Structure 1
């Protein structure tokens, strides 16, 4: 009975300690984003313009959407190193079927989404059935997806894409500022996943499995099914990110996304989600992606070489993980 009550508190969000930790984890990224924005506003007159904010959102929307899937996996105490290449594999399937095979663009998009989802499902099977570590599984599927992408595309970039594949790169104007439909889609996805995680039983089960998988199993939560669902859902989300990538660049590039796996982990960690699972908020990931986008944009505006942008991002990740470790010890 004690175990059941504890699990219920964890899965329904009734644990006040976890609520307080999640709130504190979200406060940190908000403060960091505001401080970074204030600093760069003093360094460049162009930073606070609506056009520049729109550019930042466009730059982070692909990684921001991918980071949703990464967040779901990290909440279960896993990690996905394959996300970038799974996304690219989906984009190549979409673009090559639409351009070279003449397939209806909507069907081509669905085919690419199916492929990315299938790789996510494979990751989940290997983690739940064979009990392989997520790090090893996704490292392996990263290389597999990379090889299949290069073979299937013949290492050629797909151009001349139909309008349906580039729709989310189109813009509309608010107060003279151009906003892409892809940015709107990213925000909508975050809202949907937030509702899923906070207002549904399957969403709360994700937190429970990441917090204590054995306790979750003893209270009747199908832990393997939860994990399989998370990895499969992540694969589907990566395909959406791939569609946004195609919309933004206008091509299907087999060499894109090679380091996006690290960028998604950076966004998740900076957003306050614990690498040890069971704690974090999805909107924190969006803030984490924006923090990286603001730093890169601000440093570019101030003329700082790109190598220093990477250096600062690495320092931010180490600081965020150190803060997470200290928080866990205090808890």
Structure 2
């Protein structure tokens, strides 16, 4: 019998959208400035780097893995591309390609350790976090790089729609989400990612190479971290070796709040975008209310725990 409940999306999918709407309503009642288009544009600018990192993080978590190194890999990518332009005079496109190549290479290293050495993703990426941090500091000399060609900063520019400034980098982030959504929904490799997360052994028995899928996911995640590097450089106008130290947890937070299961195999990429926006809305709203940043971190932590509890309860419900 078809009931209204059976026709509605599962709570893991619908929940993040409801949470985002409730948060927006709450903060609109607390501050007259919250509902302005300019403020929403600012929120998108604030989440575009973490939101792009979170795309790669989502792909990995869908396979029942996790990547703790994503933020530091992003920071290394930003240093590589800015150093190549500043020290060697390379053109912006070539420098950007080398930076993304560096992040993809570290993604490949993570994937090889997970698939060939059979090490747990948590341990591999925890080690890679420290490796990427050390390389970033050594290669940059712990110095911020500011002599950057204009072509590397273009995504930080904006255009106006009415009275609202829209940053080009935000459009890139949204386009990446749309492309990834289509990839996961409409292509065989995308469906294989879900299959590996649901049951690696059953997937292997169907003739799909689970190692190849995992390796591809980690490399693709590295590419997204490289694109996030470019957005970070464009946003702050420099290559900062101290960037990326909290982005790994922020990205995981966005993925979990977006309804992707930490146990793999369940979740939608657009939910991650909503999760990133939830974090951005809470931080922006609390800032407008004059709440200390310490409490903003506290609220974010509570949201993550609630999201994981919801995931656990939904899994028990499926069983």
Which interval holds the TM-score relative to the shorter structure? over 0.9
Match of 2:165 in 1: 178
Which of 73, 91, 95 is 1:104 aligned to?
A: 91
Match of 2:3 in 1: none
Long gaps (5+) in structure 2: 1-5
Which of 1, 12, 16 is 1:25 aligned to?
A: 12
1:76 paired to 2:55: no
2:57/2:67 contact within 8 Å kept: yes
Q: Give the C-alpha shift of residue 20 in structure 1.
A: 8.1
Q: Give the C-alpha shift of residue 24 in structure 1.
A: 2.6
The separation in 2 between residues aligned to 1:296 and 1:105, in whole angstroms, is 33
Match of 2:214 in 1: 227
Q: What does the per-residue CA deviation read over 1:263-287, in whole Å, with 9 as the maximum and x for residues that have no partner?
A: 0000000000000000000000000
Q: What does the per-residue CA deviation read over 1:87-130, in whole Å, with 9 as the maximum and x for residues that have no partner?
A: 11010000011012111111100000100000000000000001
1:124/1:231 contact within 8 Å kept: yes
Query: Runs of 4 or more off by more than 3 Å in structure 1?
Result: 19-23
2:13/2:268 contact within 8 Å kept: yes
Q: What does the per-residue CA deviation read over 1:157-215, in whole Å, with 9 as the maximum and x for residues that have no partner?
A: 00031111111000011122100000000000000000000000000000000000000
Which of 293, 297, 300 is 1:306 aligned to?
A: 293
Match of 1:57 in 2: 44
Count of paired positions: 313
1:22/1:280 contact within 8 Å kept: no
Which of 123, 130, 148 is 1:136 aligned to?
A: 123
The separation in 1 between residues aligned to 2:101 and 2:9, in whole angstroms, is 34
Q: Give the C-alpha shift of residue 21 in structure 1.
A: 9.7
**TM-score (norm. length: structure 2):** 0.97
Alignment of 1:192-231 (within 5 A): 192-231=179-218
Task: Tell me how large the CA RMSD over aligned residues is.
Answer: 1.2
The separation in 2 between residues aligned to 1:208 and 1:231, in whole angstroms, is 16
1:123 paired to 2:73: no
Match of 1:45 in 2: 32
SS in 2 for 1:289: helix
**TM-score (norm. length: structure 1):** 0.93
SS in 1 for 2:160: strand
The separation in 2 between residues aligned to 1:146 and 1:222, in whole angstroms, is 32
Long gaps (5+) in structure 1: 1-18
SS in 2 for 1:100: helix
Which of 222, 238, 246 is 1:259 aligned to?
A: 246
Which of 260, 272, 277 is 1:290 aligned to?
A: 277
Match of 1:242 in 2: 229
